[in-house]
Amino acid sequence: MRKKLIAANWKMYKTPEQAREFVAAFLPQVWEHTRDEMVLCPPFVTLPAVASALDGSRVQLGGQDMFWEKEGAFTGAISAHMLRAAGCSHVIIGHSERRQYFGETDDTVNRKLRAALHGGLIPIVCVGEVIAEREAGLTEDVLRRQCSIAFREISSGQAIPIVVAYEPVWAIGTGKTATPELAGEAHRVIRAEAAEAFGEGVAGKIRILYGGSVKPDNVKSLMAHPDIDGALVGGASLDPKSFAAIVKY
């Protein structure tokens, strides 16, 4: 049985002050919630405020990106080691916005994924097709390529903590959610790719989240699908009431 994970991707939203207000309103609503793992991924500068506000709660903390080196002359970059020191247990890697606006490639995703595992972080690796790829019938090929390159040079023993987020790019921030069946099909492709890389046993343990316009009113049907192990939530995670409603679907 895979425990579901519900993660908030705040993207480039919320100052430390705004994040403290969020946590003050959010925590009382989920204090008793033990069914799922919960993770907040705020912007880097907001991590310390959220870390101290979450102290003593079950809600975990994640970064939205990282670089693969431990330290050095890499202006603007943050390492796994630094995220850990700031209180993070998780890190999002290869989000489609990083791929689209910041030159992230399948190869850099692989390097970051290996560095995250090496640094003791739980990586949430994002994959997903753009609309033109779906319409051309290429979804399966795209997912297989993104996963097989992401999983390179990772042993089965190292792979267990990996979380994959299937995020069809056409569903992100658009209000167009994938149906549970469509997401389920993609999740089966991703798990098959994980089985090829790490074996059936490990692939069965890897959690595969769905992301893309998850809202309080569609989360229940998505989470009811046996192949969907949680959600990565953008827009609807910015409001404490709406994110609490998603967590407690």
Catalytic residue ranges: 95, 167
Nearer to ligand PGA, 139 or 237 (CB): 237
- Site track for ligand PGA across 115-154, x = CB under 6 A: ----------------------------------------
Q: Which of residues 193-232 bind ligand PGA (CB under 6 A)?
A: 211-214, 232
- 90-93 and 122-127 strand pairing: parallel
Write the secondary structure of 103-141 as one string of H (helix), E (strand) and C (coil). CCCHHHHHHHHHHHHHCCCEEEEEECCCHHHHHCCCHHH
Tokens of 128: 């997903």
**Number of other CB atoms surrounding residue 171 within 10 Å:** 21
Contact 235, 173 (CB under 8 A): yes
Burial letters 43-74, b for 16+ CB under 10 A, else e:
bbebbebbbebbeeeebbbbbbbbbbeeeeee
Quick one: 171 or 197, whose CB is closer to ligand PGA?
Answer: 171
Determine which residue in the list 37, 133, 167, 227 makes contact with ligand PGA, applying CB under 6 A. 167
Closest approach of Cβ 62 to ligand PGA, in Å?
Answer: 12
| Smaller CB separation from ligand PGA, 170 or 198 | 170
Q: How far apart are CA 214 and CA 227, in angstroms?
A: 16
Annotate each residue in 6-45 with x if it binds ligand PGA (CB under 6 A) or - if it does not, as one string: ---x------------------------------------
Residue number with the smallest Cβ distance to ligand PGA = 234
Which region, left, alpha or beta, applies to residue 57 given φ > 0 means left and ψ of -120 to 50 means alpha?
A: beta
Answer yes or no whether residue 168 interacts with ligand PGA by CB under 6 A. no
**Residue 191 phi/psi, 5° resolution?**
-70, -35
Interface residue with ligand PGA among 39, 143, 222, 233 (CB under 6 A) is: 233
Q: At closest approach, how far in Å is the CB of 157 from ligand PGA?
A: 29
Beta partners for residue 208, in sequence order: 164
Among 91, 124, 143, 172, binds ligand PGA (CB under 6 A): 172
Name residue 141's amino acid. D
Residues that bind ligand PGA (CB under 6 A): 9, 167, 172-173, 211-214, 232-236
